[in-house]
Amino acid sequence: MSRYWSAVVSGLTPYVPGEQPKLPGLVKLNTNENPYGPSPQVLAALRAAAADTLRLYPDPSASELKQTLAEYHGVSSAEVFVGNGSDEVLALVFMALLKHDAPLLFPDISYSFYPVYCKLYGIDYRTVPLDEQLRLRPEDYAGPCGAIIFPNPNAPTGIGLGLAGVESILQAHPEAVVVVDEAYVDFGGASAVALIAAYPNLLVVQTLSKSRSLAGLRVGFALGHPDLIEALERVKNSFNSYPLDRLSLAGAVASFRDETYFQQMRQAVIDSREQLALELASLGFEVLPSQANFIFARHPQHDAAQLAAGLRARSVIVRHFNAPRISQFLRISIGSPDECAALVRALRELM
């Protein structure tokens, strides 16, 4: 605390991202990164963009990327917003669309950045408990609210909600913005992009960090009715004209042009997840059904914090949240087959 800080800063409790240690030989299964590198076409586009043109500002409206995303998802450019990772997109969404007189609703167990944004912007919110199996029940969102946000598949549970469930929430609240955070949707979830034409209150947020192996490039986007997009553009243009640099724009466009690579890598992660789920179950873990690139699991006989510490001592890091209802779970990102095997070996030694 410094005497020079504003009252807002003094009152903040910032989000703490998963650690990024640089230890050789570490099996890093703690931040849901993709074990495979980005498409070779993306790397070629980045090399081509590392040129004399870097002296020029990038396109402030990211037109080519928006057009690429619009074609890919079957919407118009006016229905696309892009930002510096979906975290930045979400930060602008919270400010532009989620602050109202009635409280914002989100699940009690979900992305822990949401309450941080609420605090930053002074947004009143109420958490809605997941059911006993840690599933989101759409009917629990029926009451009055200012807006709704939830990840689908949810994080850190990995559990997906079907489109009928998403649609029932949209129908119950034609007057409120409903944001579906689809950071993990490409690993088997059902995307609500198909519902955008029918629901002007729907905003879908996605990222290139997970399924497109580009966490280091920082590109995220939102799709929704042009009115919602315009709100985001107004805030963005009051904050930073160029959130995406020339490299990010070039790499992101190239990623959407290499569909074959995307499909192969995404399927490889899904296959490893199914394999790892079976192995964890055979070790006695209770494994939640995941549609994401991570697994959320607990062991009836072994304390999660101790397991995480034991894994760390064996150079395997996973994420443990010391939070109500989930303190006995471990969130394990899906690694390469070798990394998953190292995790299972370390667990066998431990248990």
Is residue 255 part of the contact set for ligand PMP (CB under 6 A)? no
Q: Which is nearer to ligand PMP, 62 or 342 (CB)?
A: 62
Phi-psi sector, 109: left (phi>0), alpha (psi -120 to 50), beta: beta
Q: Which is nearer to ligand PMP, 151 or 160 (CB)?
A: 151
Stretch that binds ligand PMP, among 166-174, 192-200, 207-215, 342-350 (CB under 6 A): 207-215
Give the one residue of 33, 87, 186, 258 binding ligand PMP; rule: CB under 6 A. Answer: 87
Give the one residue of 183, 190, 287, 318 binding ligand PMP; rule: CB under 6 A. Answer: 183
Beta strands 202-207; 220-224: pairing state: antiparallel
Closest distance of CB 89 from ligand PMP, Å: 7
Q: How many CA atoms lie within 13 A of 348 on its CB side?
A: 8
Nearest partner of 270 among 337, 327, 328, judged by Cα: 337
Stretch that binds ligand PMP, among 51-59, 71-79, 81-89, 233-241 (CB under 6 A): 81-89
How far is it, in rounded angstroms, from Cα 167 to Cα 180?
11
Nearest partner of 96 among 252, 237, 197, judged by Cα: 237
Task: State the binding string over 41-80 for ligand PMP (x if CB under 6 A, else -).
Answer: ----------------------------------------
Considering only residues 106 through 145, tell me which ones interact with ligand PMP, judged by CB under 6 A: 111
How far is it, in rounded angstroms, from Cα 262 to Cα 186?
10
Q: Which is nearer to ligand PMP, 102 or 215 (CB)?
A: 215
Helix, strand or coil for residue 319?
strand
Closest distance of CB 313 from ligand PMP, Å: 26
Stretch that binds ligand PMP, among 3-11, 83-91, 141-149, 324-332 (CB under 6 A): 83-91
How far is it, in rounded angstroms, from Cα 85 to Cα 206?
9
Is residue 86 part of the contact set for ligand PMP (CB under 6 A)? yes
In Å, how far are 73, 304, 320, 334 from 298, measured between CA atoms?
36, 7, 11, 16
Q: Which is nearer to ligand PMP, 68 or 293 (CB)?
A: 293
Question: Strands (DSSP E) along 262-335, which ranges?
Answer: 286-287, 294-298, 316-318, 329-333
How far is it, in rounded angstroms, from Cα 169 to Cα 143?
10
Is residue 215 part of the contact set for ligand PMP (CB under 6 A)? yes
Give the one residue of 85, 189, 224, 251 binding ligand PMP; rule: CB under 6 A. Answer: 85
Closest distance of CB 131 from ligand PMP, Å: 19
Give the one residue of 35, 146, 158, 220 binding ligand PMP; rule: CB under 6 A. Answer: 220
Q: Which is nearer to ligand PMP, 69 or 347 (CB)?
A: 69
> DSSP for 165-217?
HHHHHHHH-TTSEEEEE-TTGGGTPPPGGGGTTT-TTEEEEEESSSTTS-TTT
Residues of this chain that bind ligand PMP (CB under 6 A) = 85-87, 111, 151, 155, 181, 183, 207, 209, 215, 220
